[in-house]
Chain A
Amino acid sequence: MKTRYHSVVLDEEKCQGCTNCIKNCPTEAIRVRGGKAVILTERCIDCGECIRTCENHAKKALSETLDDLKNFRYRVALPAPSLYGQFKRGVMPRAVLAALRQIGFDEVYEVAAAAELTTYAVRTYLEEYTAANDRRNLPLISSSCPAVVRLIQVRFPGLIPRIIPIDPPYVTAAKIFYRERLPELDYPPEEIGLFFITPCPAKITEIKTAVQAGYHVDGAIPFVSIFGKLQEQVEAGEKIDVLPKSTGVGIGWARAGGESVAVKWDNSLSVDGIHHVAALLEEIEMDKLNDIDYIEAMACPEGCVGGALTVENPFVARVKIRKLAETVNDKELPPEVAALGAELYAKGFFYSGQELPAIPALQLDKDLGVAIKKLEQVEGLMTKLPGLDCGACGSPTCRSLAEDIVQGNAQLSDCIFILREELEELASKLLLLSQKRPPALGKTGSEKEVAKSESKESSGKD
């Protein structure tokens, strides 16, 4: 199987081989084998659910660090809107932006500001699409959470055409940076490093694997890894004056529901938490939500403020974001933003143009006939397995163990209940065998005794 790049990886030393993570994975992408968790790369969607679940912190995200800034002469931070919700109440974006400058960035370009252009683009796309399409081609699904997009590719390929083909805000931020700032700077593009300051591993993976046309994000640095440094700077007070461009419309994108509020689309629905998202996608796939236009689906609880690489409690951060958004106007797009949005939209600037293939990672076989046979074997095994979904075998459910067995990656005796049955059988066989004497042995006293007791036993049974 081809291995895909993932930012979520296992820290072997910390993994205790407990089975907490396997249960919570929305694509059943984790197994415990040989006392350690193993991530099945084809299935992993980098949602970070396992990072949240693991008490031993054995799941981590690979990312860039501040050290990587050294590789560039001009370093630009693209902070996610959710970063503003990580600090104490009353800490305003300008203080956060100044802190980013102070820890080593030459310039800061707010993703929250770009999100306002995205707001314009999504709204316009919705207007055009709903006017031109039948209700059965609705609802559309937001493209802003890469974990949700990946979930659709793996589990709901039929819904790929529903994903709004508009770039997520951080991509628009990078594109805008190259459009507006590159001509003003004295550096060639390869000497400029763009770093997305990320709440989650999903964005890291997206950045590493995207075919980036017309823009280039060089890396991603998680909130958790720089929060301490930023906090210090925020407390020390601003030494650099940075004027934030974003308004509440863009900042609001950090929380679940913020996107639909920004886009001002009444007939929309917002869902957060990867398992809730999966349940809702099931409904959409069954044509049960055709009366809704637009779904804002976020993998993390409370939206990006709940990203697996954030520091603040998601519920607290969500309130902070809402309050902050209210204080800096979350009602209307600034007219100049709307004007720029219109100009760029007409040029197709926001169109992502990304081919999103189905990822058939859950399929039993490429060949339909073989897959049918394998499913039949799985069903056969299901009649033998206890159906407790206990996870002790290292697979998340009895059914997934059955599939693993059929794929040659596990054995029936990996199930502790089956193992116990087999041991019991073996033990009684052993007992029987231990009572047998090789015929070559003469009729010794003990032999006679055994023969006697055997005949006693059989006569006793009669």
Chain B
Amino acid sequence: MTTPGMVLRFSVEGGDYAAAGEAASKIKKALRKIGVDAGVIRRVAIAAYEAEMNIVLHALRGRLILEVAEDKLRVIAEDEGPGIPDVNLAMQEGFSTASDLAREMGFGAGMGLPNMKKCSDTITIETTKDRGTKVVMNFDIDDDGVT
């Protein structure tokens, strides 16, 4: 972050399908309020939604953090959970360990992490077995890249 900006935090509960997507939706609303380009909002919202769903689907609890400055946007998703044993494998399209229940509900297509990578300008994943995962995604604000 080059210029100081603002920070918004949203907590996310693992397994709470009813509230799933609310944090991403709040992030989307906030970005709309400050007038970020619609294409950028779309990318951030999709990436944030996938990050939120991964906490709901795969972790115990966590939070989404939105950092906004005039030239940069950052979404951080951090959780307490099992961690990702093989990040390279998890990044592959279609790879998923989602439960049958989650699949029945239409989640777990294994496209979440690949989409997060596509939508963001940079993505880093730190993960520790049995501790949790932290995904940091950066977005250029004035560049309306196509996803």
Which residues of chain A have a CB within 8 Å of any CB of chain B? 136, 155-158, 282, 285-287, 358, 360, 362-366, 368-369, 371-376, 378-379, 403
Contacts and interface: CB of A to CB of B under 8 A. Distances in A.
B35 A360 contact: yes
A375 B38 contact: no
Contact of B46 (A282, A287, A373, A378): A287
Nearest to A380: B6
B35 A363 contact: yes
Interface residues of B, number: 25
Contacts of A378: 33
B41 interface: yes
A325 to B, nearest CB: 35
Q: Is the interface of A mostly helix, strand, loop or mixed?
A: helix
Given A375-B6, A379-B8, A368 B34 contact: yes
Contacts of B36: 368
Contact of B69 (A362, A372, A375): A372
Contacts of A368: 34-36, 70, 141
Interface in B47-72: 49, 68-70
Given A158-B38, A286-B49, A376 B6 contact: yes
Contacts of B147: 136
A363 B41 contact: no
Contact of A362 (B33, B49, B141): B33
A371 B34 contact: yes
Contacts of A360: 35
A55 B33 CA distance: 32
Given A158-B42, A287-B46, A372 B6 contact: yes
Contact of B70 (A136, A286, A364, A372): A372
Contacts of A369: 3, 70
A287 B70 CA distance: 26
B45 A285 contact: yes
Given A156-B38, A282-B25, A286-B28, 8 more contacts: A157-B38, A285-B45, A286-B42, A362-B32, A369-B70, A371-B34, A372-B69, A373-B6
Most buried by A among B28, B33, B49, B70: B33
